[in-house]
Structure 1
Amino acid sequence: VLGLRDIQLSVPEAVGVGSSATLGCRWALDVGETLYTVKWYHGAQEFFRFVPKELPNTRVFSQTGISVDVSRSGAQQVVLRGVSRGLSGRYRCEVSADAPFFHTVYKSANMRVV
């Protein structure tokens, strides 16, 4: 199967209130494919996007309680600052390859804020 593969997600199982959380997402692209986007979701809501062909290549979407450390976030990780209990829940990394294939894969995991 062509496309994106071997997606690996690293989300801390539990983090303390007020601390930072680093969420990681790695993948493999087949020869001839390039990255189109990486999107991060908390529940059903997108809160961070990385698009290598855009400038700036990162975009943060406002979501209550989420503070993204943009200087430490990019294609393969997003760093959340000062997490609160409301940020417990499911996080999803969605990776899409560029034209002509536009393959998309995703993986999700739970994080608890304690």
Structure 2
Amino acid sequence: MAHQLYRNTSLGNSLQGSLNELIQSQQITAPTTTKLPFKLPHFDKAINSVLVQMVRNGVNFRSSLNTNRFCDNEWNFVLNDVEFRKVTELTKVDKVKIVATDGKDTGSNSTE
């Protein structure tokens, strides 16, 4: 489930939209999508792998913690009055929610 966070990105939405369009135009059937090399669980793992390898930028932030929660191997933090600092750039926001998951493969198989 943790990797599914990337499905709500523009790239993930485009992939899902394209698959739906192919199904609606009857170019493929819904069961066929589970056999395609670009099915969604593969996308989930691939996007996570690429982000780990390619993103090297860092940002520091300062805030006050509103709430935190740990459930289903996932941390949720809600922060208030957040200041993000990257080199000389400073950005302030009222509230931020951070969802942190273990990026390692836990060995569980997705049924999608």
Question: TM (normalized to structure 2)?
Answer: 0.22
Question: TM (normalized to structure 1)?
Answer: 0.22
Bigger-Rg structure (1/2): 2
Query: Which gives a bigger RCO, structure 1 or 2 (Cα 8 Å, sep 6+)?
Result: 1
Larger proportion of helix: 2
